[in-house]
Amino acid sequence: MAKIEWSESLSMGVAELDGHHKEILRIMSMLLDALNRGQDEDAITLLLSKLREYTLFHFAAEEAFMEEIEFPQRRKHIARHAELKRKVKAFQYARFHHEDLTSEDYKKFLSAWLLEHILDYDFKIIKYLRERKIAPENIKDKGKADLTKGKLAAAEESKKQEEE
């Protein structure tokens, strides 16, 4: 898998979520680069932690957004988020317990995440908005203060659940 870079073809048209996706791709790219260069365990562990933490933050924001727009497939989408969170945690666990994971294992997981989640699941949100002729820019500022509070609370709650 080549370096992961943002392109406008990945844009949802929602500045906040696009910014999150850019950051997730940046962290993924750093992780792959670290694996390809054979960086030490601490660097890779730190990047996995960073990916997990940012993912929790992003998923909370995306879930709040889906709630705000009353996205009908949000439960299925949220279930997919839970699955991705479990997989990231499993990679962290495997790393901590020195299980043998190859760069290829990481590449497969990260490409599936990119291709299946962002390009499939997230784009269903955009399709929903377009079908209802709702412009994303008309939504992103609506209730932003509440959305931000909700994101932080949801991220904390999600983190607690993940730790249990």
The reported pTM is 0.76
Q: What is the pLDDT along the chain (164 residues), one digit of tens a residue?
A: 456 778 888 888 888 899 999 999 999 899 889 988 888 888 988 998 999 899 999 999 999 999 999 999 999 999 999 998 888 888 888 877 877 777 788 888 887 777 678 888 899 998 998 888 887 766 654 434 344 444 445 555 655 666 66
CB 66 within 8 A of CB 77: yes
Provide the token pair at 53.
């933490």
d(CA 134, CA 115): 25
Burial class (CB in 10 A: 0-12, 13-18, 19+), 106: buried
Sequence-distant (6+) residues with CB within 8 A of 5 are: 25, 29
CATH architecture of 13-163: Up-down Bundle (1.20)
